[in-house]
Structure 1
Amino acid sequence: MHKQIKQTTRTMAQINYEQEFKRSIKDPENFWMDQASQISWFQKPTRAISKEANGFYQWFKGGKLNTSYLALDAHIENGRGDDIALIYDSPVTQSIAKHTYLELRDMVSRLAGGMQRLGVEKGDTVIIYMPMIPQAVVSMLACARLGAIHSVVFGGFAPHELAIRIDDAKPKLIITATSGIEVNRIIPYKPMVDEAIKTATHSPEHVIVFNRKLGAIRPDGENDIDYATLMKIADPVRWTEVDATDPLYILYTSGTTGKPKGIIRDNGGHAVAMHYSMKHVYGVNPREVFWAASDVGWVVGHSYIVYAPLIYGCTTVLFEGKPVRTPDASTFWRVINDHDVNVMFTAPTAIRAIKKEDPNGEFIKQFKMCNLRYLFLAGERCDASTLEWAGEKLNVPVIDHWWQTESGWPIVANMMGFENHFEVKPGSATKPVCGYDVQILREDGTQAQPREEGYVAVKLPLPPGTLPNLWGDTERFVKGYLQRFEGYYFSGDGGYIDEEGYVFITGRVDDIINVAGHRLSTAEMEEVVAKHPDVAECCVVGIEDDLKGQVPLALAVLKAGSEIEHFQLQSEVVNDVRKAIGPVAALKKVLVVERLPKTRSGKILRKIIRAIADGKEYNVPSTIDDPEILSEIQNLFEGQMVGVFEKK
């Protein structure tokens, strides 16, 4: 794999990573103004970065543009209207559809006209609760066309979770579909939307419903609007000019308090960062086919299914299915083969699932993937065996890279748009991306030495495309990201940098776990577990899992006098979490304990619980209330957890 990367040749002009990275850190003003010149502005910004009176930074203030225009109209004006913009491939419905830039623009402009007819204006919010279908992409771009702010909620989330987002975003309308579809089952969306609206205190004025005609229940309300009918009666509209600093979208991510955080993405900085990353991080060219095998409900779907490929002028693949069981572990390779994919991006979980079903890569041999140049992996820490298996079987460079919902695009990566690619070190996402001054800090804020583990932070200002604030909660933004280390963005992750500048991310330092690329709050799960009538106290931690990266484990202390059987408690708690948060939570194991290990101040020692469960060494803190409890936990794990998670 190392030789493959070094020998890969690119048609781009030779650019040296070290020189460009240094310029991006030392002279961000001119560096990013150069990048801004690569996109079409209605009014060009006069400068790149501005520091506001509140100490926050804004990018390209004074510039005016429209993201929908950049993704569609700009290419049409350049004579590319008949080029394929979007390929929809759905093995679960056994259908494939291809849309040109002209076709996609016409659908977007017409839906935007219909939304405008329903009263949606610049600055309004719209929630999109959709499966992986073209109408989801059209809905996002239609919001962008009007200058409205969309908030896409993953279709697998339960009504309770949707209700929380409705109350926080206060949407003027919701766009949904009758159903999603997974392996051998249809998931009715409309009843969940109706339940969420009943639960929420805020009521959207309308619900636009796309009928998939898959037989799902579709209860109609008096404020419901049929998607197809609206498209027939609506007049197409032109784009609305917005400021570079105007919000493009809100994307909710789990917080340690259990209340999700609304990450804001601006229009100008986002567009520049998306364009830059496609060329320099992913090494892809306009007109090539880019496939991010994710969901539009997550940040990867926002950035690399919808916005970046279309702004840059690529063909993007929208895949509705799973890496296995739709119909088998050959699905990914069939998509790459059928659509001549040049660069692919997925999560290590997907590759692990495929590897489990097809360890020798027999399915790979059935397809000609001669156009595939790189496979990028992100969403969770990639283990060395997965990285090496994919590289060996696919015979292409496999690039592990690291970023967050908050950043919106890669923070650390082997930047494939540069000539001097770096040798891969398994376990490392390689080096900081241009614009990100990544540093490892000690508890006191001083810089750590090479290979000394500490807190991963980025010196301010963050580059464009990253979060400028949280939706309606500036105090939480400061407290969560800026307060820990003055002058730095705190990532919430731990890690270290070696002598050659390679960055190694070791995992979260808070109570967020990463299940198959999905960040979930253990605090939120604990709230659900604690509501069980027999539970007196509980905690939820994320433990290592070969397939999903992490899975949640619940420890529960029963109320005095409770006679509930362990199996019954586990069944009921698992069901409660599934109802409240959704199946994505993946909680399957509940252990009953006599007591929880705590400090004298009452803080549960979650880090030590994780270490015991994962079979790792740990130091007993001097503040522990009763050290003997650790032996009890150790014995419990050894007796009840063998084989449960198929741990190595």
Structure 2
Amino acid sequence: MRHNSFMNTTTENSAANYDEVVTRIAEDPERFWLEQAKSHIDWVTEPTKAVDDSNAPIYRWFPDGELNVCFNAIDRHVANGRGDQAAIIYDSPVTNTVRSITYAELLDEVSRFARALSDKGVTKGDRVVIYMPMIPEAAVAMLACARLGAIHSVVFGGFAPNELAVRIDDTAPKAVISTSCGVEKSRVLEYKPMLDEAVEIAANKPEFTVIVQRDEHRCELGETDLDYAELLDQTPEGIDPVTVKATDELYVLYTSGTTGKPKGIVRDSGGYAVASAFSMPTVFGLQPGDTMFTASDVGWVVGHTYIIYAPLLAGVTSVLYEGKPVGTPDAGAFFRAIEQHKVNVHFTAPTAMRVVRKEDPNGELMKKYDLSSLRAEFLAGERLDPDTYEWTTKILAEATGRDIPVVDNWWQTETGWPITANPLGLTRFPLKAGSSTKPNPGFQVEIVDPGGKPVPAGEEGLIVIKLPLPPGTMATVWGDDERFISSYLAAFDGYYLTGDSGYLDEDGYVFVMGRTDDVINVAGHRLSTGIIEAVVASHPAVAEAAVIGVHDDVKGQIPRALVVLGDSAEAADPNTVIDELVALVRKEIGPVAAFKRVDIVSGLPKTRSGKILRKTMRQIADGENDPAVPSTIEDRSVLDDLGAVLSRS
């Protein structure tokens, strides 16, 4: 394959600061994105056109370009002298394992596994479902598919068989790659029985399955099952990367919808590679040789982009972590890894910091570790409430003696990379609690009312993004362009509907308050439950809080808070805390909120990515017979325990 040499052009081809970059995109987006494509990615056929708008509102990025994403993520770094640099550091406190995998070692295993898949009939355009925990072989499987031009669809390890079967049926994969088990802090979860049941349920059965056998549990293999280690032993030589079009699909990732057929978000190859590589120096301030620790899972979009593709495309070392923020072994787990691997940027969810705070409110465990390498803490996956932002900022400053920016960033499975953030590689803006700062270059964010009319600064409305979306965002819904248009593009002509509500302030900062169905109408007054929630969460006794709008015969809807108290608040009288919370909301928001109902609970139901199930709780509280429970729920028993509380009027 013929490729251009890899260039580090962070300062050469990016403007000096945020405003200049935004101006360049506004004046000539075609030229800007072609420059980024040429500077960040090595092409087989260099694109001459940035965006194809002939099928608007569906756009295609770099339509005449050809490349291979795996080559860009691994091969070129080895060719350019980075073969001995760590590509992936596997850190697994649940198995007491730490292992560094260099770019050269990763290239060898990925290329040999790709050949093994090719020898079994996997070719360009085939689909492969990956059902694995956070182990290096999950990354190898993803990259091997990319090497062949096959389309991978990663399903979160441990998903229920029926949910896995739905995704198998939708993608009709040639193969499934899985493992014998997942390992958690207190149990070993066998994957093979769940996979077998899913294949039995599915109509579109895979031709074969590859199983990674783990020492914690080895499973019996069936007639169509292949042993991963044996396949590699039988495949001493690798395979060259397959050239694909920039518009060819790289992967399908399903949203965690609550009902009906899940939406398979399609990511293209060229646009995603450009955007991912562009975001590393621009948003995160990371350069080749730096280290990033994203405490997510490859089953989520954050894991796809910032554990696998973006770090490797940018020549950065990525920490792949198999563990929890607490309990493996304690609330200092993340910070031990930051010290041990000299992490420059750490990325996790606000929920993770809240559970750390609950167990270690003064950050004593964090302060045990040398965090001198850390430059920034990124938090995303749900709204970062001001109280969690302020606590994290304070504790990191105490632990390091430095001003460590805590960067809220807002994005979606559909967008593939952050819509808004503080772009540390361009301009570090003053941080504002409650805001994810400004739109990243390429995202034109606007606020409109339900009729599509722009609203003034400071006024809450629907958050929309002007089309075309930048490269790296969703290309379509798998197999269903019409569903893509009807779900996201039809509401307002020329705009993508995010489904979130919020506002822009006079400085252009974006404040995301929650999903649009989290805006409640109290006696004719539209109120954001996110604003009320932020006030509740600011109380020193509160570790976590969720505010939902529930039906009221007189006012239409009224807010109701479910609150988890912190460990430091054990001695507090719950009734006193409730009275103080009601008074606090009345003081900060006013009597218009009609805020009177607070329930102290032991836990809040969440998805595995940390999102609180507010909609489900609201449906239970309103007495709906069939509340929507997403397949991604972390612990169903938490929701079951809340049932009696929520059902009380």
TM-score grouping bracket, smaller chain normalisation: 0.7 to 0.9
Structure 1 distance, partners of 2:291, 2:643, is 47
Q: Is the 8 A contact 2:57 2:467 kept in 1?
A: no
Specify the alignment match of 2:425 in structure 1.
417
Residue 535 (structure 1) aligns with: none
Answer yes or no: is the 8 Å Cα contact 1:243–1:268 preserved in 2. Answer: yes
Q: Paired residue for 1:261?
A: 263
1:431 equivalent to 2:438? Answer yes
The corresponding residue for 1:454 is 461
Range that drifts further, 26-35 or 61-70: 26-35
Q: CA deviation at 1:592?
A: 6.8
User: Which secondary structure state, in structure 2, belongs to the residue aligned with residue 153 of structure 1?
Assistant: strand
2:415 is the alignment partner of 1:407:
yes
Contact 1:456 1:491 in 2 (8 A): yes
Residue-by-residue CA offset, 1:483-542 (whole Å, 9 max, x unaligned) = 01110000011111111111010111248999xxxxxxxxxxxxxxxxxxxxxxxxxx99
Residue 371 of structure 2 corresponds to residue 369 of structure 1: yes
Instruction: Kindly indicate whether the alpha-carbon contact (under 8 Å) linking 1:158 and 1:582 is maintained by their aligned counterparts in 2.
Output: no
Aligned partner of residue 107 in structure 1, secondary structure: helix
**Which SS does the other structure have where 2:639 is aligned?**
coil
Provide the residue aligned with 1:127 in structure 2. Answer: 129
Deviations 1:104-139 (A, max 9, x none): 000000110110011000000000000100000000
Shift in CA distance, 214/549, structure 1 to aligned 2, threshold 3 Å: closer
- Say if 2:211 is the partner of 1:209: yes
Q: 1:250 aligns with which of 224, 229, 252?
A: 252
Q: Which residue of 1 aligns with 2:273?
A: 271
Larger RCO: 1 or 2 (CA < 8 Å, sep 6+): 1
The partner residue of 1:588 within 609, 628, 640 is: 640
The alpha carbon displacement at 1:581 in A equals: 5.6
Cα distance in 2, alignment partners of residues 510 and 248 from structure 1:
32
Q: What's the CA shift for 1:543?
A: 7.2
Relative distance call for 1:506 and 1:581 in structure 2 (3 A) is: closer
- What is the distance in 2 between the residues matched to 1:165 and 1:132? 20
The CA deviation string for residues 81-100 of structure 1, in whole angstroms up to 9 with x for no partner, is 11111100000000110011
Residue 558 of structure 1 deviates from its aligned partner by 9.1
In the alignment, is the contact (CA less than 8 A) between 1:555 and 1:592 conserved in 2? no
Q: What is the alpha-carbon distance in structure 2 between the residues aligned to residue 26 and residue 503 of structure 1?
A: 23
8 Å Cα contact 1:191/1:219 also seen in 2: no
Tell me, in whole angstroms, the C-alpha distance in 1 between the residues paired with 2:515 and 2:633: 22
Q: How far off its partner does 1:587 sit?
A: 2.3
Contact 1:556 1:592 in 2 (8 A): no
In the superposition, relative to structure 1, how do residues 291 and 556 fare at CA in structure 2: closer, same or farther (>3 Å)? closer
SS at match of 2:318: strand
Query: C-alpha displacement at 1:347, in angstroms?
Result: 0.4
**Residue-by-residue CA offset, 1:130-187 (whole Å, 9 max, x unaligned):** 0100000000000000000000000131111101100101100000000001111000
Seen in structure 2, the aligned counterparts of structure 1 residues 279 and 542 have a Cα distance that, compared at 3 Å, is farther
Alignment of 1:68-79 (within 5 A): 68-79=70-81
2:639 partner letter:
L
* Structure 1 residues 330 and 33: alpha-carbon distance in aligned structure 2, compared to 1, 3 A threshold: same
Matches within 5 A, 1:173-252: 173-215=175-217, 218-234=219-235, 235-252=237-254
The residue matched to 2:176 in structure 1 has which SS? strand
Question: Structure 1 pair 389/590, CA: closer, same or farther in 2 (3 Å)?
Answer: closer
Normalising by the residue count of structure 2, what TM-score does the alignment of the two structures yield? 0.80
Please tell me the residue identity of whatever aligns with 2:224. N
Following superposition, the deviation at residue 557 of structure 1 comes to: 9.2
Residues 376-431 of structure 1 deviation map (CA, whole Å, 9 limit, x = unaligned): 0000001112111111111211111101100000101110001x311111111011
Determine the structure 2 residue equivalent to 1:335. Answer: 337
Residue number among 546, 551, 555 corresponding to 2:620 in the alignment: 555
| Amino acid of the structure 1 residue aligned with 2:480 | D
2:123 maps to a residue whose letter is E
Q: Indicate yes or no: 2:466 matched with 1:463.
A: no
Partner of 1:534: none
How many Å apart are 1:258 and its aligned residue?
Answer: 3.4
* Paired position in structure 1 for 2:504: 497
State the partner residue of 2:32: 31
Contact 1:161–1:581 (8 Å) recurs in 2? no
Q: In the alignment, is the contact (CA less than 8 A) between 1:59 and 1:269 conserved in 2? A: yes
The answer for unaligned runs of 5 or more in structure 2 is: 1-9, 398-403, 520-528, 531-558, 565-603, 605-609
Contact 1:441–1:455 (8 Å) recurs in 2? yes
CA contact (8 A) 1:253 1:405 kept: yes
Question: Cα RMSD between the aligned structures?
Answer: 2.6
Distance 1:542 1:589 in 2: 17
**Cα distance in 1, alignment partners of residues 629 and 475 from structure 2:** 32
Of 250-259 and 505-514, deviating more is 505-514
Structure 2 CA distance for partners of 1:90 and 1:354, relative to 1, 3 Å: same
Residue 342 and residue 157 in structure 1: after superposition, are their counterparts in 2 closer, same or farther (change >3 A)?
same
> Secondary structure at the residue paired with 1:98?
strand
Q: Structure 1 CA distance, aligned partners of 2:383 and 2:506? A: 21
Which residue of structure 1 aligns with residue 536 of structure 2?
A: none
Instruction: Tell me the distance in 2 between the aligned counterparts of 1:549 and 1:79.
Output: 41
Higher mean displacement: 358-367 or 386-395: 386-395
Q: 1:440-489: CA deviations, max 9, x gaps?
A: 01111111111111110000000000001110111110111000111000
2:329 counterpart letter in structure 1: P
Tell me if structure 2 keeps the 8 A contact 1:160–1:581: no
Q: What letter is aligned with 1:356?
A: K
Structure 1 position 482 matched with structure 2 position 547? no
> 2:417·2:472 contact (CA, 8 Å) conserved in 1?
yes
Q: Distance in 2 between matches of 1:293 and 1:128?
A: 19
Which one-letter code corresponds to 2:223 in the other structure?
A: E
Secondary structure class of the residue paired with 1:489:
strand
Q: Is 1:286–1:314's contact at 8 Å kept on the other side of the alignment?
A: yes
Aligned to 2:161: 159
Structure 1 residue aligned with 2:452: 445
Q: Is the 8 A contact 2:57 2:468 kept in 1?
A: no
Query: What amino acid maps onto 1:550 in structure 2?
Result: I
CA gap of 1:367–1:556, structure 2 versus 1, over 3 A, is closer
- Closer/same/farther in 2, CA of residues 119 and 14 from structure 1, 3 Å limit: closer
Task: Kindly indicate whether the alpha-carbon contact (under 8 Å) linking 1:289 and 1:317 is maintained by their aligned counterparts in 2.
Answer: yes
Aligned residues: 546
The equivalences for 1:30-109 within 5 A come to: 30-38=31-39, 39-53=41-55, 55-109=57-111
Residue identity over aligned pairs, in percent, reads 51
- Give 1:220 shift: 2.2
